[in-house]
């Protein structure tokens, strides 16, 4: 195999034997998986399963005092335990967090924040970026402050900013959890477009507890329970034939929730009729 060929098949993200301990408690145990260029992979699990800690470790924002072992390679470069500012451009990770307000300065106008984040971008380029994520029609957008946008609008702006990164990997940690169903769909479409329409195939690691949301965006699923990876499978297989008992409970709960939603819609239609 030639060097160029090997480079093409090398995973964008490769995690091997990752173990994380906080205050003497092991929170992630011997975790191994990879994500290839253009892949959209979800990391599923209930609260406390270790999925968000895994995301923080990959992005370099692990809680202070955490003890790490194992390997995390981004574009073939070892980054385990390295803070984002110490990483080179090739090994940086674009990140979208659950709460978009943490990524925006509440005391600074959006226009000033855009100019600081993208100093080389022209006004026309910024306008096109906002248009792509459905924010182009907001009057006086650049003069507004973050609090003047809805949660979904702030999240779409953060995704747009993350997409301006040259990183081949996007990590999104519960980016739709606090959003209503309609806004969730808008944000998922923005993320799908951002990955599919990038100049180079962009890999996505999507952290969520919501299987229904993950199924709309991702082609493969990783399931974590109590800090360990218990199942890895294509999304269709996971939904139709889950192997691990924990995964079967997650899928059953998701299907039960979907059935309740359908019943509620039917009852609403009957009541209106």
Residue 50 has pLDDT above 70, yes or no: yes
What is the average pLDDT value for the chain, to the nearest integer? 86
At 101-136, the pLDDT tens digits run: 778 899 999 999 988 888 878 888 888 888 878 888
Please write the tens of the pLDDT for every residue from 244-268: 999 999 999 888 877 756 654 444 4
Over residues 215-236, mean pLDDT: 95
For 66-84, what is each residue's pLDDT tens digit? 999 999 999 999 999 999 9
Better pLDDT: 261 or 37: 37
Q: pTM for the whole thing?
A: 0.84
The percent of residues in the chain predicted with pLDDT above 70, rounded, is: 90
Give per-residue pLDDT as tens, 51-62: 999 999 999 999
pLDDT for residue 109: 94
Q: How confident is the model at residue 7 (pLDDT cuts 50, 70, 90)?
A: very low
| Proportion of the chain above pLDDT 90, given as a percent | 49
Give the chain as a 3 state SS string: CCHHHHHHHCCCEEEEEEEEEECCEEEEEEEEEEECCCCEEEEECCCCCCHHHHHHHHHCCCCCCCEEEEEEEECCEECCCCCHHHCCHHHCCEEECCCHHHHCCCCCCHHHHHHHHCCCCCHHHHHHHHHHCCCCCCCCHHHCCHHHCCHHHHHHHHHHHHHCCCCCEEEEECCCCCCCHHHHHHHHHHHHHHHHCCCCCCEEEEEECCHHHHHHHCCEEEEEECCEEEEEEEHHHHHHCCCCHHHHHHHHHHHHHHHHHHHHHHHHHHHHC
Fold assignment, 3-93+167-272:
Rossmann fold (3.40.50)
pLDDT at 5 exceeding the cut of 80: no
Tens-place pLDDT, residues 132-159: 788 888 999 989 999 999 888 898 888 8
What does the pLDDT read at residue 99? 77
Which is more confident, 71 or 7? 71
Residue 241's pLDDT is what? Answer: 94
Question: Mean pLDDT, to the nearest integer, of 211-225?
Answer: 93
Q: What's the confidence (pLDDT) of residue 240?
A: 92
Q: Which residue has the higher pLDDT, 27 or 121?
A: 27
């Amino acid at each position: 195999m030639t060097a160029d060929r090997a480079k093409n098949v090398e995973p964008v993200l490769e995690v091997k034997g990752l173990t994380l301990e906080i205050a003497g408690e092991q929170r992630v145990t011997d975790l191994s998986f990879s994500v290839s260029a253009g892949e959209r992979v979800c990391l599923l699990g209930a609260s406390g399963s270790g999925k968000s800690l895994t995301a923080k470790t990959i992005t370099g924002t692990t809680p202070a005092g955490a003890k790490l072992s194992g390997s995390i390679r981004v574009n073939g470069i070892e980054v385990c335990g390295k803070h984002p500012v110490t990483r080179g451009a090739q090994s940086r990770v674009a990140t979208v967090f659950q709460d978009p307000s943490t990524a925006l300065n509440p005391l600074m106008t959006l226009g000033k924040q855009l100019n600081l984040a993208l100093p080389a971008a022209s006004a026309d380029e910024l306008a096109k970026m906002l248009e792509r994520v459905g924010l182009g029609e907001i009057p006086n957008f650049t003069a507004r402050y973050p609090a003047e946008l809805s949660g979904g609008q702030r999240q779409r702006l953060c995704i747009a900013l993350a997409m301006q990164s040259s990183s081949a990997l996007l990590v999104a940690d519960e980016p739709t959890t606090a959003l209503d169903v309609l806004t969730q769909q808008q944000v998922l479409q923005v993320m799908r477009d951002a990955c599919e329409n990038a100049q180079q195939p962009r890999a996505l690691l999507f952290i969520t507890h919501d299987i229904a949301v993950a199924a709309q965006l991702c082609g493969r699923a990783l399931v974590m329970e109590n800090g360990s990876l218990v199942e890895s499978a294509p999304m269709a297989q996971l939904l139709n034939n889950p192997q691990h008992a924990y995964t079967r409970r997650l899928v059953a709960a998701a299907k039960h929730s979907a059935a309740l939603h359908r019943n509620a819609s039917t009852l609403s239609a009957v009541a209106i009729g």
